[in-house]
Amino acid sequence: MSILSIILLALLVILLFRVGLSLLRFLIYIGIIVLCIYLGYQGILWLMENYNQFFNFIN
């Protein structure tokens, strides 16, 4: 292997690592948003199912 190919390979690894980290950060961010939307949806469904029980309990 020539020195030029080793340098190019090192630069490629560094570039892939940086792009991989930013891509991973983006995927984690999207995952957190989807999780929040899902939990909000489940919370609304739970409230709709138990609304009558809460209303009867208050009265």
Cα–Cα distance for residue pair 38/48, rounded to 1 Å? 15
Quick: pLDDT tens for 4-56: 888 888 888 888 888 888 888 888 999 999 999 999 999 999 988 888 777 77
Cα–Cα distance for residue pair 25/31, rounded to 1 Å? 10
pTM for the structure as a whole:
0.59
Cα–Cα distance for residue pair 10/21, rounded to 1 Å? 17
Return the CA Rg of the chain. Answer: 25
Cβ density class 48-57: b for 16+ within 10 Å, e for less: eeeeeeeeee
Give me the pLDDT at residue 29, please: 94
